[in-house]
Structure 1
Amino acid sequence: MQYHYNQLLDFLNDDSFIRWALFGENESFWQSFLEQNAYQQVTVAQARQLIHKISAAEQTDLPTLDQQAVWSRIQVAMEDTPVEVNEPIVVQNWWQRSTWRWAASIALLIGISWFVWRNYDSHSVTYRDLVASVNDQQPLIERVNDGEKPLRISLEDGSAITLTKHSKISYPSHFTKDRRRVLLSGEAFFDIAKDPSRPFYVYANELVTKVLGTSFWVRAYEQDKQVLVNVRTGRVSVFKQPRVNVIDPETTGLVLEPNQQAVFSRQTENLTRRLVEQPLPLPTAEKAESVVRFDEVPVPTVLKAIEKRYGVDIIYNEDVLANCVITTKMGDESLYDKLDLICKVIGATYKEVDAQIVLESKGCQ
């Protein structure tokens, strides 16, 4: 691997370098790197010293900061401070400079929220972390459901939240002009009022759900290994919440439509899209006839009707199924019961791939 590093920040962003600085991993590689890049020795010494400072501070109970703003300020400061190639490797020299002292002190503050996140097993974002972060900017109201029945909460914008047992949510008394934001621990159903000028954000552990106006479930208990977002109506954007927003995190997320869910593994940090366990008819389809009869119609016609009813994409070869006809009726059966019936009649199979149904058949004679 080629390393074209010129700044302290380049090394601080390298997991391999961090593990070498702390644990001595890849010792031969980094010693070889220093021999081949002698002019980088000062920067390497600075980076190692800073990493050790962060490691020592990791147990400090610090509030979560606005990491993106802080990170931008650190980048500017480091770009303004050139590294002198001939400077001897004495850490005190750079540490005593005012710019470096300022940048390092900021780095220490974000140590718990950046270093631990990137390099240790404890990657979890807690409800307490989120509340502490937002409370610094805007006071929050907290509601807790200690009862047996769901608790309905009405927000100032007309949105409604149904909080399940043992769940809690925090939100401001007044939303800002550019966004609406709530913090969740547990499980809740959201029915969000449309407001294109102010997206609605639900922060739940490591996952962020962004909507303009729709309804969906979020399940994010702190002890659970997964965070789930289940869309009922509309469309939502779901993405991981990084400790440091170096890039726009939404660009690496998922867009969900009705009957789709996002599943985030808190252990592996994988975010995947699936169909919900029991897809429901879309609200518009619920008003249609409860029972639909098909008399000697091509199977693709039936599949298109199912797609329309559930909003689920069904992928198949229309030419292969052109000679397959079916006579049946469909009522309150589940989506999967309907598919099982069709597949049994024409000798086909199906599977779910990325929240879509892929139906495979050899056709009909």
Structure 2
Amino acid sequence: MDENKLEEEFKKIWDETPVSHSDTEKETSWEEFHSKVFPSKKKKFKVWRYAAAAAALIFAGIGAEMYFNRSPLQDTIYLASNVIENTTSKVQTVVLPDSSRVELNPNSKIKYANNFEDNRKIEIEGEGYFKVKKDKKHPFQVFCNETITKVLGTSFTVKGYPEKDVAVELYEGSVQMSVADQDKKWILKPGEKFTYGSKVAEVAEFNRFIDFENEKLSVVSIYLESNYGYKVRIPQEYGNQRITVRINKKEDLKMIVQLISEMYNLNFEVNEKLKQITFQ
């Protein structure tokens, strides 16, 4: 590589380096570096020596964000990461770059790389419900403490806080569970729950449905309010109507609302601003 090309490459790296200085300070430091590395055409032999030193300095300067912040998110280096934390008292929906969704519980956070669409790895601390977009070329992986949940397209919950057990509940699809430093794999089916704690992994069944057996429609509306955060208004004359239905606990609210409207031949209106559903 000739000196001009080398100079261009170093300037590009220098400008892209995410250091915590102003543009003026970064430009000043570049000029100082440039004057030492490329002082004149007569000192070409010093370029590579300075280049090695400069590379070491650049690596050290951005190590906290790029090179030394190694985590389960990556097999290769990534430039930066996104951290999303739910500091509210309500569940928040996060749409990931690949259109997958995470319903993030309070006091929980996720972290993923900027190249997420090609490197679908995500770390979670706390609890979240994942609805994963299918992509066979890029498997979706969730890291929680020592566990890894690997999926292609499915919906599941992951719960794991520091120094606490990890629990993964599968609602739809299929996932493969693994634990750091262990060769064994666990394949979950819908309705199965994987738990890991004190170096012990277990798989057991759990009830992913809620059943309403000849129950008042008003009771179902209360359930929707408490689990989805939407107020439900139904005509007074329908309040005592009876309903028998089985609902996936993580079913989309829209699907449930459409089901009720078809069963009772009702129209409905959703007010997102007020978080209210009105049947009429």
Q: Under a length normalisation based on structure 2, what TM-score does the superposition of the two structures give?
A: 0.48
More strand by share: 2
More helix by share: 1
